[in-house]
Amino acid sequence: MRMTDTLVISPASSGIRGDMTLPGDKSISHRAVMFAAIARGDSHIHNFSGGGDNRSTIRAFQTLGVEITQTGTDVLVKGRGWEGLHAPGETIDCGNSGTTMRLLSGLLAGRPFASRLDGDASLRSRPMGRVMAPLREMGADILSEGGENRAPLRINGQSLHGILYQSPVASAQVKSAILLAGLQGRGITRVQEPVRSRDHTERMLPAFGGRLQVSGTEVTIAGGQELHACEVEVPGDLSSAAFFLGAALIVPGSELYVRGIGLNPTRTGVLEVFQAMGASITILHPREVCGEPVGDLLVRSSILRGIEIEGELIVRAIDEVPIIAVVAAFARGTTVIRGAQELRVKESDRLHALATTLLALGARVSELPDGLVIEGGGLQGGRVQSFDDHRIAMALSVAGLAATDKIVLEGIACVDISFPGFYGLVRDLTGTTRPDP
The residues that are catalytic are 319
Burial 154-188 (b: 16+ CB within 10 A, else e): bbebbebbbbebebebbbbbbbbbbbbbbbbbbee
Q: Which is nearer to ligand S3P, 103 or 331 (CB)?
A: 103
Q: What DSSP line would sit under 228-270, residue for residue?
A: E--EEEPPB-HHHHHHHHHHHHHSTT-EEEEEEEE--TTTTHH
Mark 259-298 with x for binding to ligand S3P (rule: CB under 6 A) and - for no binding.
Answer: ----------------------------------------
- Contact yes or no for 173/199 (Cβ under 8 A): no
Q: Which is nearer to ligand S3P, 5 or 319 (CB)?
A: 319
Q: Which stretch binds ligand S3P (CB under 6 A): 62-70, 73-81, 142-150, 172-180?
A: 172-180
- Read off the amino acid at residue 313: L
Q: Which residue, among 8, 99, 1, has the nearest Cα to 381 in the 3D structure?
A: 8
Q: Which of 172, 219, 304, 307 binds ligand S3P (CB under 6 A)?
A: 172
Closest CB 130 distance from ligand S3P, rounded Å: 8
Is 76 exposed, middle or buried, given 0-12, 13-18 or 19+ CB atoms closer than 10 A?
middle
Q: Which of 100, 105, 122, 171 binds ligand S3P (CB under 6 A)?
A: 171
Closest CB 209 distance from ligand S3P, rounded Å: 21
320: contact with ligand S3P by CB under 6 A: no
Closest CB 38 distance from ligand S3P, rounded Å: 17
Q: Which is nearer to ligand S3P, 318 or 340 (CB)?
A: 318
Q: Which is nearer to ligand S3P, 30 or 40 (CB)?
A: 30
Q: Which stretch binds ligand S3P (CB under 6 A): 67-75, 169-177, 179-187, 211-219?
A: 169-177
- C-alpha distances (whole Å) from 136 to each of 106, 162, 259 are 10, 11, 43
Q: Which is nearer to ligand S3P, 34 or 250 (CB)?
A: 34
Q: How far apart are CA 343 and CA 371, in angstroms?
A: 8
User: What's the residue count for the chain?
Assistant: 437
Q: How far apart are CA 147 and CA 185, in angstroms?
A: 27
Q: Which of 36, 132, 180, 318 binds ligand S3P (CB under 6 A)?
A: 318
Helix (H) or strand (E) holding 189: strand 188-192
Closest CB 102 distance from ligand S3P, rounded Å: 7
Closest CB 278 distance from ligand S3P, rounded Å: 26
Q: Which stretch binds ligand S3P (CB under 6 A): 35-43, 132-140, 167-175, 405-413?
A: 167-175
Q: If DSSP codes are grouped into helix, strand and coil, which group holds residue 192?
A: strand
Closest CB 27 distance from ligand S3P, rounded Å: 3
Which residues does residue 19 pair with via DSSP β-bridges, in sequence order? 257
Q: How far apart are CA 166 and CA 221, in angstroms?
A: 14
Residues 379-398 that bind ligand S3P (CB under 6 A): none
Q: Which is nearer to ligand S3P, 350 or 406 (CB)?
A: 350
Q: Which of 184, 189, 197, 348 binds ligand S3P (CB under 6 A)?
A: 197
Closest CB 198 distance from ligand S3P, rounded Å: 6
Which residues does residue 399 pair with via DSSP β-bridges, in sequence order? none
43: contact with ligand S3P by CB under 6 A: no
Q: What is the CA radius of gyration of the chain?
A: 21
Q: Which is nearer to ligand S3P, 77 or 343 (CB)?
A: 343
Q: Which of 100, 167, 173, 433 binds ligand S3P (CB under 6 A)?
A: 173
- C-alpha distances (whole Å) from 22 to each of 25, 86, 197 are 9, 35, 23
Which residues does residue 299 pair with via DSSP β-bridges, in sequence order? 256, 281
- Contact yes or no for 382/407 (Cβ under 8 A): yes
Interface size with ligand S3P, residues (CB under 6 A):
11
Three-class SS string for 264-324?
Answer: CCCCCHHHHHHHHCCCEEEEEEEEEECCEEEEEEEEECCCCECCEECCHHHHCCHHHHHHH
Q: Which of 47, 57, 96, 99 binds ligand S3P (CB under 6 A)?
A: 99
Residues 19-38 that bind ligand S3P (CB under 6 A): 27, 30
Which residues does residue 365 pair with via DSSP β-bridges, in sequence order? 374
Residues 213-232 that bind ligand S3P (CB under 6 A): none
319: contact with ligand S3P by CB under 6 A: yes
Interacting residues with ligand S3P (CB under 6 A)? 27, 30, 99, 171-173, 176, 197-198, 318-319
